[in-house]
Amino acid sequence: MDRQPKRNSRVNVRRAEVMGIVQEKVRRHYQSALVESVRSSGNRLELGHTTFVLAPEFGFCTGVQRAIDIAYAARNVFPENRIFLIGDIIHNPEVNRQLAAMGVIRLPWKTMTDEYDELCEKDVVIVPAFGVPVPFMDFLTNKGVSIVDTTCGDVVKVWRRVKDFAAMGVTSIIHGKATHEETLATASRALGEDGRGKYIIIFTEEDTRALADYMMGHGCRDEFMKRFEGAMSPGFDPDRDLVKVGLANQTTMLKSETQSIQTMIRNAVVKRDGNDERYSVFDTICGATQDRQNSLFQLLDEKPDIMFVVGGYNSSNTTHLVDIAKESVPTFFIEAAACIRSLTEVECFDTRLHRIVESSFPEVMGNPDVPVKVGITAGASCPGNLVEETIFRVGMLRGDSFDSILTAAGMLPGQYQ
């Protein structure tokens, strides 16, 4: 008997009868009435000797909110099924902990291990907001599992662009981190429908200079191949594959750095060819990433004495906020309010050393009788409740009570939950 073809495994769980319940649960888990009240008052909270200033835009973006809603909906639609998640739904440990508490089982995202072989048709697999490489999707489809896809629409736009590059015989230069989930997913699409497309991944301006120099006929081939090992398509030949190039980027990169890289690559093509006809560019930084970076610059104009950036340490867009802020003000990258141990000590993430460090606050922070202005922002994957906890932690360490903080925010303490 002929084998029946596999069904379409993608499942839409965003059903009207489900989403109302789901969104209320998500609201309880992650939203903050305190933060919303401060936002409605000009993003400013005045206490005794402590002033909090929030960035105009921070926290969950639309794509992240959508991914979380869909993941919660999957548990509601499939209450009895095993539900798996490839890697992290987003780069925030609090959100991923909540999903684990709901019985969602984490699968490795970098390689398909034996755990994938154990999946069966009754299982549900959630694809994270970053997406996954093409071989993962092909495998899941062939397995016949129910696929709940939360891939961000901005990421899908990048995939379309690099697929177009492949179809036109244009090599995709991808500005991103070669080990990041989103970049790996994008690179797999850059191979095109026939698998013959080419790509190379650059992360830093130093990478870009090395690439541009080689395109202009400088540099050593062996050194080039060693530098970009693991960041090129199979069989990549820089002498053949850098003639026609198109630039795209991981959606969460630093805008100013991406603009600089665009200029460097274009200048290399013009210097080599005399024109830019064999250069294409498509700005694929998502709007939410740009908004949060622009909002941070607005906050820095307020000249805070100290800056907190709240979010997951593996979050690319949050890391770039830290890098922007630390150029202007003492900045502390924290995952949660508990990282603030006292008015003098903090556990935070060092983006230069790429590890958690013990650090000290500026002297002004340690004296509750001295006025201090505290700036706070958060990445696109950080829920509002973590910003709220940071406000309470700092305010109470500096001598304000829980109720006085609520009162200052225009809220009734007895009604706050």
Please identify every residue annotated as catalytic: 182
Phi, psi angles (nearest 5°) of residue 127: -90, 130
Beta carbons of 91 and 315 less than 8 angstroms apart: yes
- CA distances from residue 257 to 51, 83, 162, 164, 186 in whole angstroms, order as listed: 32, 39, 20, 24, 19
Phi, psi values for residue 27, rounded to 5°: -60, -45
CA distance 340 to 54: 18
Q: Tokens at residue 394, please?
A: 């700092």
State the pairing for strand pair 372-378/83-86: unpaired
Which residues neighbour 172 within 8 Å (Cβ) at sequence distance 6 or greater? 162, 165, 166, 187, 190, 197, 198, 199, 200, 245, 246, 247, 248
Please provide the DSSP assignment of 199-237 as one string.
EEEE-SHHHHHHHHHHHTT-S-HHHHHHHTTTSB-TT--
N residues, the chain: 417
- CA nearest to 331, candidates 354, 310, 302: 310
Beta-carbon-side half-sphere exposure of residue 127 (alpha carbons within 13 Å)? 29
**Residue 253: which of 183, 169, 311, 312 has the closest Cα?**
183
- Decide: 355 and 349 in contact? Cβ < 8 Å: yes
d(CA 141, CA 130): 18
The candidate with the shortest Cα–Cα distance to 309, out of 398, 386, 257, 393, is 386
H-type alpha helices, 91-190: 93-101, 114-117, 134-143, 153-167, 181-190
Dihedral in degrees, nearest 10, Cα atoms 37, 40, 42, 43: 40
